[in-house]
Copies of this chain bind each other. A is one copy, B any other.
Amino acid sequence: MRQVSSKNTNERLKLRRVKIDTYRENVAYLHRECAIYRAEGFQALSKVNICANGQRILAVLNVVDDKKLVLPNEVGLSEEAFAKLDLAEGQLISIEHAELAESMNAVRRKIAGERLTQKDFEHIIDDITERRYSKAEISAFLVASGQSSMDRDEVYYLTRAMLEVGKQLQWNESLVADKHCIGGIPGNRTSMLVVPIVAAHGMLIPKTSSRAITSPAGTADTMEVLANVELDIKKLHDIVRKHRVCLAWGGRAKLSPADDIMIAVERPLAIDSLGQMVASILSKKLSAGATHLLIDIPVGPTAKVRHMRQAQQLRKLFEFVGDQFRIHLEVVITDGRQPIGSGIGPVLEARDVMQVLLNAPNAPDDLRQKSLHLAGRILEFDPDVRGGKGYAIARDILDSGRALDVMNNIIGAQGAQHQNFELGKLTHEEVAPEDGTVIQIDNLQMARIARYAGAPMDKGAGVDLFKKLGDNVTQGEPLYRIHAVYPADFDFALELCQRGSGYTIGKREDIPKAFVEF
């Protein structure tokens, strides 16, 4: 048989932008009657490489039967993929089979119970960052390396790999303070108080925060009610150089980019493993240039960490990995039995924060006290602050209005928010079903109600708590108010609230004990 040589290697498809936002997954659209490729031939592995100008991006393949979407001589790319390839429509593109990323072999070894090396983690994190993993593959890695299946050296390797794949900020100072909470407690906006207090003392604290993924508000979402938080790396640098402080969204700075990709899969799965949590947080904080770091682990029946033993285990792991990087790291274990402050949702949480900064009489005291304790501990990183005196210094700074001044400086430097976000006008007050004492507030359910009401997308949506643990209530007395901006969201929140209010009324002696280790 004669060897027939193909003359088609130069055949290409035309690039087309498909205005579909596929949320952190690249999707390529190929017509079923594609002029060059058998579209369905790629489907089983569900991934293809899109190649042009020496670039190559991985995408999930969808087969299209509608010529309005893509023509047989075109390949369509979803918004994110199109942006990433950064070529004009009509440019010529080719397609390749995409095999499993090489590093999936290491994932398979991890599934089989093997210990992975520094090199293995580097390959995995590199492939994840370059988006060579599908969501199902990321999920496989997260589960395989979840729970107790990584030893502490492996957690260190993973952290290092995640750190090294991204950018790192350099401040060239011996004390760069930072704080981080492992999350899970609605309304817990201590950063917006701790940072101004610590900065007022003169300490360098360039705080980068995340947006909510599955929670009703992240610090970045709440700070955005007051100021611009989307700073590029140059702007961020300039502000910190000048003011020694910022409260910005970290997403623009490309710190620990693998983390952003992994948590987008991990959070919806609700599979928080201790090792992944430590690697995620430390890679982010180390890449932001922190030298002194305070970690807050809230413990409670509906918190991420539910038992003191688990909190201690997590603390040791943070300490071990922190020590490898030679950063000064301290861990506090705090009361995570209920939401902090009154508001849940960006506008409501920003209100709480400003009330504390303004020393308003109705400012939520739990938020104030927790922030003062955390700020106090960070102030004691300063060698000139005597052990045990941090709290008093923090209180003086807050009471004197100097923390408020710093917050106003930050807002000025980052740019005041020009939009005036209002509280949602659709409201519902949930009332006590009987007389008694509030003995439980379910963090997860309160977060979910606020999210269904529209937070954080709608900044004015959320839940405003009137009663906290230990408060006495009489039947019919309001427990909290739901705020929504849009009717559909209001209906969702109401229906969820009817299925479970999140509050338990009972006898005072049934309030669970708090675990605190400050």
Chain A interface (Cβ < 8 Å from any Cβ of B): 1-4, 6-9, 11, 18-23, 29, 32, 36-38, 40-41, 43-47, 61-66, 68-69, 78-79, 96-97, 99-100, 104, 108, 111-113, 134-140, 142-144, 146-148, 212-214, 265, 267-271, 273, 425-429, 448, 452, 454, 457-458, 481, 486-492, 494, 496
When the two chains form their complex, are residues A32 and B41 in contact, meaning their CB atoms are under 8 A apart? no
A-B CB contact pairs (8 Å), 8 listed:
A1-B429, A3-B429, A6-B426, A19-B69, A38-B458, A100-B269, A111-B143, A136-B139
Residues of chain B lying within 8 A (CB to CB) of residue A21: 32, 43, 62-65
Contacting pair B428 A38 (CB below 8 A): no
Taking a contact as CB atoms under 8 Å apart, the answer to whether B144 and A63 are in contact is no
Minimal beta-carbon separation of A517 from chain B (angstroms): 24
Would A100 and B268 be within 8 Å (CB), given that A64-B20, A490-B6, A491-B6 are in contact? yes
Q: How far does the alpha carbon of A112 sit from the alpha carbon of B214 in the complex, in Å?
A: 22
Contact assessment for B494 and A6 in the assembled complex, using a CB-CB cutoff below 8 Å:
yes
In angstroms, Cα B21 to Cα A143, docked, is 29
Hey, which chain B residues are within 8 Å of A134, CB to CB? Answer: 135, 268
Q: Which residues of B are found within 8 Å of A99, using beta-carbon distances?
A: 448
Nearest chain B residue, comparing its CB with the CB of A66: B19
- Which of A9, A20, A22 lies at the interface centre, i.e. has the most chain B CB atoms within 10 A of its CB? A20
Q: Would A269 and B137 count as touching, CB distance under 8 A? A: yes
Contacts of A213 in B (CB 8 A): 44
Cβ–Cβ < 8 Å partners of A273 in chain B = 111
Q: How far is the CA of A6 from the CA of B62 in the complex (A)?
A: 38
Whether A29 contacts B38 by the Cβ 8 Å rule is no
* Given A23-B63, A457-B40, A147-B486 contact (CB < 8 Å): no
- A111 near B66 with CB under 8 A, answer no
Instruction: Output the least CB separation between A461 and chain B (Å).
Output: 9
* B66 with A20: CB separation less than 8 A: yes
Give the distance in Å from the alpha carbon of A150 to the alpha carbon of B358 in the complex. 57
A137–B139 CB distance below 8 A? yes
Given A20-B29, A97-B452, A134-B135, 9 more A-B residue pairs with CB atoms under 8 Å apart are A6-B426, A18-B66, A19-B65, A37-B488, A38-B488, A41-B489, A44-B214, A111-B143, A113-B148
* Contact residues in B for A488 (Cβ distance below 8 Å): 8, 11, 36-38
CB neighbours of A481 from chain B (8 A): 1
| Chain B residues with CB below 8 A from A43, complex form | 21, 23
Say yes or no: A111 contacts B271, CB within 8 Å: yes
Determine the distance from Cα of A108 to Cα of B64 in the docked complex, in whole angstroms.
36
A486 CA to B426 CA in the complex, in Å? 60
User: Which has the most chain B C-beta neighbours within 10 Å: A38, A47, A143, A148?
Assistant: A143
Task: Say how far A105's CB is from chain B's closest CB, in angstroms.
Answer: 9
CB neighbours (8 Å) of A32 from chain B are: 21
Check B139–A4 contact: CB distance below 8 A: no
A46 to B108, CA, bound (A): 26
Q: Name the B residues within 8 Å of A457 (CB-CB).
A: 38, 40-41
7 smallest CB-CB distances across A and B, nearest first, come from A8-B487, A19-B66, A136-B139, A19-B65, A143-B143, A139-B139, A21-B63
**Which B residue's beta carbon lies closest to that of A8?**
B487
Q: Smallest Cβ distance from A77 to chain B, in angstroms?
A: 13
